A and B are shown apart, each in its own frame.
Chain A
Amino acid sequence: GAGVSQSPRYKVAKRGQDVALRCDPISGHVSLFWYQQALGQGPEFLTYFQNEAQLDKSGLPSDRFFAERPEGSVSTLKIQRTQQEDSAVYLCASSLDPESNQPQHFGDGTRLSIL
């Protein structure tokens, strides 16, 4: 079956531009996570959705980062006024539901480069 799909696969933007990254989770998955992975580092948590509700956004590095999941399925991570330090791989993961003790399924990520 289809896994977690992220688009675009690669994104290059100039400093100051706004970008939008898309995540299509596995159908029926309630939980959705966004992570940021800097080069040579492990991923770091950004935000978590349960259906359309954003239950945890403690990992968002600044108010330039905004995430939404308006219908409880597709999610978008938006970064406004991008900075060079935003360059990273942005990973999306989904899992069936928070009570089912199921692993997270990861997308291939969006590699964002800010020039």
Chain B
Amino acid sequence: KNEVEQSPQNLTAQEGEFITINCSYSVGISALHWLQQHPGGGIVSLFMLSSGKKKHGRLIATINIQEKHSSLHITASHPRDSAVYICAVEVSGGGADGLTFGKGTHLIIQP
């Protein structure tokens, strides 16, 4: 079982819709990251959070440490939001120093 699970794997929506992508993890973490990856490979860090909620423009990220769950929301979605959204965690208490990633959610926003 993967330590980081994302859902859905694929999501197609119409422009303007409210989008939610979910991430669940099974290990103790010190931080959780939401990343955006466009075709061609480049990854952009959207959020890094360890508690509560963060907002940047039309993007909102929340995390519930007790339930080991995080969500990424996109309001008023636009075709340029089409990308792969990846949840990644920093595992606490030793182990690898790098991030542990989910497999990503492939989002397509149709005009």
Residues of chain A having any CB pair with chain B under 8 Å: 33, 35, 37, 40-48, 55-56, 58-59, 89, 91, 93, 98, 101-109, 111
Contact present for A106 and B98 (CB under 8 Å) = no
Q: Are B31 and A89 in contact (CB under 8 A)?
A: no
> What is the interface residue range for chain B against chain A?
20 to 34
17 more CB-based (< 8 A) A-B contacts, given A101-B48, A107-B42, A108-B41: A35-B99, A35-B101, A41-B103, A43-B43, A43-B88, A43-B101, A45-B97, A45-B98, A55-B97, A58-B95, A59-B96, A93-B43, A103-B33, A104-B99, A106-B44, A108-B42, A109-B43
Most buried by A among B4, B97, B103, B104: B97
Residues of B within 8 A of A33 (CB): 97-99
User: Is the Cβ of A48 less than 8 Å from the Cβ of B101?
Assistant: no
Query: How many pairs, one residue from A and one from B, have CB atoms within 8 Å of each other in the complex?
Result: 69
Decide if A56 touches B104 in the complex (CB within 8 Å): no
- Across the interface, name the chain B residue whose C-beta is closest to A106: B43
Q: Which of B42, B48, B97 is within 8 Å of A103, CB to CB?
A: B48
Contacts of B103 in A (CB 8 A): 40-42
Q: A59-B96, A101-B31, A103-B33 are in contact. Are A42 and B101 (CB under 8 A)?
A: yes
State in angstroms the CA–CA spacing of A11 and B39 once bound together. Answer: 17
Residues facing A in B74-111 (CB within 8 A) are 86, 88, 95-104
